Amino acid sequence: MSAVSVEPFLRYPRFEKPGFARSRRKAAITVTTAALFKSPSSFNCCCSLIPRRKLLSNASSFPFLDLHRVKTHTARASSTDTAVLESTNDVVFKETFPLSRTETTEGKIFVRLDQSKAKEKEDQWQQLTVGCSLPGKWILHWGVSYVDDTGSEWDQPPENMRPPGSIPVKDYAIETPLKKASEGDKFHQVKIEIDPKSPVAALNFVLKDEETGVWYQHKGRDFKVPLVDCSLDSGGGNVIGAKGGFSMWPDALASEGKDSSSRSKDPKQETRKVEGFYEELPIAKFAVIENSVTVSVSKCLKTAKNLLYLVTDLPGEVVVHWGVCRDDAKKWEIPAAPHPPETTVFKDKALRTVLQAKEDGNGRSGSFTLDGDLVGFLFVLKLNESTWLNCMGNDFYIPLPISSSLPALSGTGQSEVPPVSENTVGADQEVSHAIYTDGIINEIRSLVSDFSSEKRQKTKTKEAQESILQEIEKLAAEAYSIFRSSIPTFMDETALESEATEAPKICSGTGTGYEILLQGFNWESHKLGHWYMELKQKVEEISSLGFTVIWLPPPTESVSPEGYMPKDLYNLNSRYGNIDELKDLVKRFHGKGVKVLGDAVLNHRCAHYKNGNGVWNIFGGRLNWDDRAVVADDPHFQGRGNKSSGDNFHAAPNIDHSQEFVRKDLKEWLLWLRKEIGYDGWRLDFVRGFWGGYVKDYLDASEPYFAVGEYWDSLSYTYGEMDHNQDAHRQRIVDWINATSGTAGAFDVTTKGILHTTLERCEYWRLSDEKGKPPGVVGWWPSRAVTFIENHDTGSTQGHWRFPGGKEMQGYAYILTHPGTPAVFYDHIFSHYQSEIAALISLRNRNKIHCRSTVKITKAERDVYAAIIDEKVAVKIGPGHYEPPSGPYRWSSKIEGRNYKVWEAS
């Protein structure tokens, strides 16, 4: 769901953004237990480490250097070290490895409901106390739900229930800091006084630690504390105190409180009130601690021995579990004595050396004297019996100088990245008919299998089955047209014009099938006031990087500066620029062959005037609708339309798309945008809010080249852990696409969510579903899946579901080599990731990977995922080892980065 600054509650857990709170509380780096280690060479701790290589002197840019030309300053060691690096020695290698480890602190959250001590007994006030025993700056983000409220589960409480220091979050929630009652108090806590005359049915809350930015929920959902029995109906595993008893309570709710005029009750009706309870719940706070280890190697000019110096800022006793090797097989050996002090032999396979405290007290260090005929030094670090650190799932490997060149580090070097040519995209449009139609045939088979399945027939409605049949017919016609014509339907329109041949109809869900989408803005872009002018300077660069489609921000006048609270739809003077600047920008992109998507917010619209009850639901401007255009079941805006066909968005009036005049006006507006501005298609905001059939109506009228909907839904979790099977989640997205008759694609939120957990927890087996296919929408309906890892909501300055830090390129290596239509976020392409992303785009175009390309998953294990796409490209992500299988193809490594690698077949 696109966010706007005036309704930040959309970013909070009550809307269950998939993994929003959960994704943050997981450790970015995990460390395995000692039980994983069976031999000195099998240390598989999933600590992701990318060395910051520091090749000294002016040879730092090269993977190889002359060992005898590089000098450095003295590296000091303690008096107990076996060797001291002198300034006269040649330092031939120096590298710093970042170390990330997780520390966990366990505590309790308690929730108590009892008789208030701050109010008169006869008033029957109650007091809810929420506390947390862990240190931190805790904030209670909370709201209430009212009796008979069929809309939002969250609303602001009455004024007299708000504790001191509370801050309202727009119109739906409250944030209250937790405080200690005294210095010696173990718990931070907050007390909420509950007025028995208020129509409050339940309290909903989540805890936020402001020091870390982590949100804590209950079993993956908001905490829910029912106060009356009627609120239990919508409760689930997240309900607190549900086992407590009830007492009879005269229903004063009907006479006072929120919107009491609409809550007329039978005077004799009684509601049962929840009695007091006390409940404790476990909570664990994860902290990622960043350290490093630096290893330098020098050659002693007098003895020709290798002097290795290791230093780290890790706290406490640190043990180096180490050995040496004599060839590239990297088989561990115990070197000849002498060994450093405090060294012991481990099972005749390795040595263990306790690092010595540095003289300044900051960290530990050790020195090792090694024979000159050794090839490498292997080690892992042991902090305690349950915490080991290694390098990207493998042993640390330090090459030792035995010749005039330094071997490249295993698993850390970068292959040469091919340059991006401006002509690459155009040349790559020439694609084999057979490959493309094979993809269509596979998709037809998948749909036929889905349709013919007895189980699916029982669960699908007649309309859904007809929709599948229509899609099969459409794909069959598309395949047939390829065979009967010399011009494939997926060729770019500009290429077709050069052939002086009538262009085939482009499918609105997929465009040509070769689209690579760029989101052309972030959450802060509006602040410049002239974003269109800013972006115009980058048109040529964007085109040269290989993008074929760009998504621009919402163009209309908006209550929020970001554009997601539209008001007058025909007023295109926004915080991003004026209408003339927008038209000029679109024209510039078209001149470079780049299609442009407009961000269309159709679900809701901000009103211009209040009605007689003081509610904002009367519209002005060219589309001067009244309250008949607003759905009837949104309690905030008193609409006189029909009930909503989807989920309500509570910050603005939800538009009733069942009204003929509404649909007529919106279709005319979309056609006007296409003609006046030149938009080629749409990114559709918050499509969960209205039926996909209406989307089909709008797309049939506006005939976009490409369209993608934002169907944002919560993934499945059990006790806060993401389920492996996310079929229900992707099925909901597929059902929406089906409702549009396949005229629009959808953002593959399923894939994004699974990638989050995969990379955070080093659980790469998650990237294969039970049938060996990609587990997201891309595994079921790839031609309609728009894959992404970040956007203006999840990343940018909002960061509400930010992709795991430092692992963005693993995500892009996945989506840019797999089928579906990949989307790249603006903040990433204009960053230090640009060259790597550009190389992946170039490789995708060069190998003609498209939205229906085939995927063969060859490995999906704890620490590595690998797949072969169209038998042309092999990719692996994760710290584990993988090489493409030998066979009819010769594989050559083309792109390599932090925990990912891509090969091409020849």
- Euclidean distance between CA atoms 85 and 75, whole angstroms: 5
**Which position has the higher pLDDT, 464 or 360?**
360
- Euclidean distance between CA atoms 176 and 281, whole angstroms: 20
Q: Which residues contact 746 (CB under 8 A, 6 or more apart)?
A: 687, 708, 709, 710, 711, 733, 736, 737, 777, 784, 785, 786
- Euclidean distance between CA atoms 578 and 571, whole angstroms: 9
- Euclidean distance between CA atoms 304 and 369, whole angstroms: 11
Confidence band of 883 (pLDDT split at 50, 70, 90): very high
Per-residue CA distances from 488 to 313, 428, 432, 485, 501 (Å): 60, 13, 9, 7, 11
Q: How far is CA 761 from the centre of its chain?
A: 14
Q: Check if 492 is active-site.
A: no
Query: Helix, strand, or coil here: 209?
Result: strand
**Which position has the higher pLDDT, 66 or 156?**
156
Mean pLDDT of 255-277: 50
Q: Residue 701: phi, psi to the nearest 5?
A: -75, -40
Q: Strand 745-747 relative to strand 706-709: parallel, antiparallel, unpaired? A: parallel
- Both structure tokens of 611: 């009605």
CA atoms within 13 A on the CB side of 566: 23
- Euclidean distance between CA atoms 266 and 253, whole angstroms: 11
- Euclidean distance between CA atoms 813 and 875, whole angstroms: 7
Q: Residue 550: phi, psi to the nearest 5?
A: -125, 140
Per-residue model confidence (pLDDT) at position 13: 34
From the list 581, 710, 748, 763, the catalytic residue is 710
Per-residue model confidence (pLDDT) at position 170: 73
From the list 90, 471, 515, 685, the catalytic residue is 685
Element (H, E) at 810: helix 808-815
Query: Helix, strand, or coil here: 599?
Result: strand
Query: Helix, strand, or coil here: 846?
Result: helix
Q: How confident is the model over 472-523, as pLDDT tens digits? A: 655 665 554 444 333 333 333 332 233 223 333 455 567 889 999 999 999 9
Phi-psi region of 767 (alpha: psi -120 to 50; beta: other; left: phi over 0): alpha
Instruction: Quote the mean pLDDT of the chain.
Output: 78
- Euclidean distance between CA atoms 274 and 269, whole angstroms: 17
Q: Which residues pair with 394 in a beta bridge?
A: 391
Q: Residue 340: phi, psi to the nearest 5?
A: -60, 160
CA pseudo-torsion sign 330, 336, 341, 345: positive
Q: How confident is the model over 615-651, as pLDDT tens digits? A: 999 999 999 999 999 999 888 899 999 999 988 888 8
Angle at 804 (CA atoms; ends 800, 810), nearest 5 degrees:
135
Q: Which residues contact 618 (CB under 8 A, 6 or more apart)?
A: 607, 608, 609, 610, 611, 625, 626, 627
For residue 626, count CB atoms less than 10 angstroms from its CB and return exposed for 0-12, middle for 13-18, buried for 19 or more.
Answer: middle
Per-residue model confidence (pLDDT) at position 93: 86
Q: How far is CA 165 from the centre of its chain?
A: 33
Whether residue 3 is predicted with pLDDT greater than 80 in this model: the reply is: no
Q: How confident is the model over 312-328, as pLDDT tens digits? A: 999 889 999 999 999 88
Q: How confident is the model over 675-734, as pLDDT tens digits? A: 999 999 999 999 999 999 999 999 999 999 999 999 998 899 887 789 999 999 999 999
Q: Check if 668 is active-site.
A: no
Angle between the N-to-C axes of helices 808-815 and 834-846, in degrees from 0 to 180, rounded to the nearest 10: 10
Whether residue 666 is predicted with pLDDT greater than 90 in this model: the reply is: yes
- Euclidean distance between CA atoms 654 and 854, whole angstroms: 40
Q: How far is CA 885 from the centre of its chain?
A: 31
Per-residue model confidence (pLDDT) at position 888: 80
Per-residue model confidence (pLDDT) at position 122: 56
For the chain, what percent of residues have pLDDT higher than 70? 72
Q: How confident is the model over 188-213, as pLDDT tens digits? A: 999 999 887 888 888 889 888 887 76
Query: Helix, strand, or coil here: 125?
Result: coil
Whether residue 276 is predicted with pLDDT greater than 60 in this model: the reply is: yes
Q: Strand 609-610 relative to strand 821-824: parallel, antiparallel, unpaired? A: unpaired
Q: How confident is the model over 61-111, as pLDDT tens digits? A: 323 233 333 333 333 333 333 333 334 456 788 888 888 777 778 888 999
For the question of whether the overall pTM of this predicted structure is more than 0.85, the answer is: no
Per-residue model confidence (pLDDT) at position 281: 86
C-alpha torsion angle, residues 394, 396, 399, 400 (rounded to 10): -140
Query: Helix, strand, or coil here: 600?
Result: strand
